[in-house]
Amino acid sequence: MTNYGGQAPLSYNKYLKVQQLIELQEKLALPEKHDELLFIIIHQTFELWFK
């Protein structure tokens, strides 16, 4: 962990905002389908990659 500007150490999860990314994975299918989450993750990754 690295300390930047006298602030608390910056962790991997904080730096990449992992919790916020997970919260964006809103499933709509009822009942839930495993493939839907896979679709969301893959396409979020593509959007970030090609940004």
8 A C-beta contact, residue 40 and residue 25: yes
pLDDT at 15: 92
- The C-alpha atoms of residue 25 and residue 43 are separated, in whole angstroms, by 11
Residue ranges of the domains in the chain?
Answer: 12-49
pTM above 0.75, yes or no: no
Question: Which tens digits make up the pLDDT trace of 29-48?
Answer: 888 888 998 998 999 999 99
Q: Are 9 and 3 in contact (CB under 8 A)?
A: yes
Nearest to 27 by CA among 16, 40, 17, 14: 40
Identify the three-state secondary structure at position 2: strand
Residue 2's φ and ψ, nearest 5 degrees, are -115, 145
pLDDT the model gives residue 20: 93
